Amino acid sequence: MTICSFQPPVRTLMGPGPADVHPRVLSALARPTIGHLDPAFVSMMDELKTLLRSAFRTDNALTMPVSAPGSAGMETCFLNLVEPGDKVIVCVNGVFGGRMQDNVIRAGGEPICVQDPWGRAVDPNKLEDALKAHPDARIVAFVQAETSTGAGSDTATLVDMAHRHDCLTIVDVVTALGGSPVEVDAWGIDAVYAGSQKCLSCTPGLAPISLNERALAKVRARSTPVRSWFQDLNLVLGYWNGDGQAGGKRTYHHTAPVNALYGLHEALLMLAEEGVEQAWQRHRRHHLALRAGLEAMGLELVVPEAERLPQLNAVSVPGGIDDAAVRAQLLSQYNLELGAGLGPLAGKIWRIGLMGYSSRPENILLCVGALGSVLNEQGLAVDTGAALNRVQQALAS
């Protein structure tokens, strides 16, 4: 066997993530590697934190990327904030809420699960009932944008409710950040984590996080050490912020993923250039155009309109159509990746992502045109021409 350099096929990524990475980010990644304590790198880190704060809409001093994927952002929040014995109310309406529950157990806490149907937002009334039933709960955790279903929850209301019952909040904005409103300070979120590979148009592997002073006070007051050395924020901050070090000087904690951070810096710079609110509007506009095309083909969106995420569109697979065969044909003939359903929705839905650099008019036209052709080939009569017209009209309006 001869092994050569790996040349990936060029795909259009319209699944649940990773999304397409912007060429500016790819070229930033290829810049020369420098030392992670080099003064030039340290000033890039400072800019990166400033850019992250404006993406999260926060002034939190502790705002930084964890050097690992979104799941590590999740673990960092739970391992630092949950102490053995802490009761944590976890709202579960899909895969990632379920993972939060698992994280609470692994951190030694006691999860109280509030279950909502897959494909629906978290129900604030159920949270209120759980808070009343468990007045000793310390933390409320939920996913703002549930990537497994495309349902978006009302973070402002849920956080406010948690605070009225003296709970801190941990919110997953992995799929939300950059694609739909995330207002860390205005909504009072205490701890939040995201991922680089969704609406930020960066490569996978980094997890921006932000904690406010209330959350940090709980971390500092722990009576037991954080169970992960790598993710102990008390230690990581010596590197990212110079906390606890003489003269605020940064010290070695781990070797930062230098080039990956160049990529995130570029991605966040692009978001700032576009404007965070303009990026939210772009995602919404493109969602409406995709929806117009899908509905013109007779396809149905799973999530009720008021709870739909613009960046992740869950579509019911029509009866008699083989979900996997359609996705395989889209990939082989059109280099187009759509996502499959997970858990109870496996085989029943497609997940069409319009995230970050993937959220472009040409991708919507490609997706609607290719899906229409493949469905016709699979025996479902759909009017692809009419659907493409509807997309164009929606984009023009």
Ligand X SMILES: Cc1ncc(COP(=O)(O)O)c(C=O)c1O
Task: Of 58, 25, 13, give the one whose Cα is nearest residue 208.
Answer: 58
CB of 64 to ligand X, least distance (A): 16
Closer residue to ligand X, CB minimum distance, 172 or 266: 172
CB of 268 to ligand X, least distance (A): 17
For residue 183 the two structure tokens come to: 């207002």
Output DSSP code: residue 19.
Answer: P
CB of 78 to ligand X, least distance (A): 12
Strands of the 12-14 sheet, one edge to the other: 12-14, 336-340, 349-353, 312-316
Bridge partners (DSSP) of residue 152 are 145
Closer residue to ligand X, CB minimum distance, 109 or 208: 208
Closer residue to ligand X, CB minimum distance, 96 or 187: 96
Closer residue to ligand X, CB minimum distance, 17 or 111: 17
User: In this structure, are residues 112 and 90 in contact, taking their beta carbons and an 8 Å threshold?
Assistant: yes
d(CA 68, CA 50): 20
Closer residue to ligand X, CB minimum distance, 303 or 374: 303
Task: Of 181, 147, 192, give the one whose Cα is nearest residue 353.
Answer: 147
For residue 140 the two structure tokens come to: 């409320």
User: In this structure, are residues 158 and 91 in contact, taking their beta carbons and an 8 Å threshold?
Assistant: yes
Closer residue to ligand X, CB minimum distance, 342 or 395: 342
d(CA 378, CA 374): 6
Burial class (CB in 10 A: 0-12, 13-18, 19+), 141: buried
* Unique residue bearing structure tokens 């509905």: 295
Closer residue to ligand X, CB minimum distance, 209 or 375: 209
CB of 144 to ligand X, least distance (A): 8
CB of 113 to ligand X, least distance (A): 17
CB of 57 to ligand X, least distance (A): 19
User: Which residue lies nearest ligand X, judged by its C-beta?
Assistant: 70
Task: Of 226, 206, 71, give the one whose Cα is nearest residue 147.
Answer: 71
For residue 346 the two structure tokens come to: 């496996």
d(CA 73, CA 348): 30
Closer residue to ligand X, CB minimum distance, 103 or 329: 103
**Residue ranges that bind ligand X, judged by CB under 6 A:** 16-17, 69-71, 74, 96, 143, 147, 172, 174-175, 195, 204
d(CA 123, CA 153): 8
CB of 287 to ligand X, least distance (A): 17
CB of 247 to ligand X, least distance (A): 35
User: In this structure, are residues 81 and 87 in contact, taking their beta carbons and an 8 Å threshold?
Assistant: no
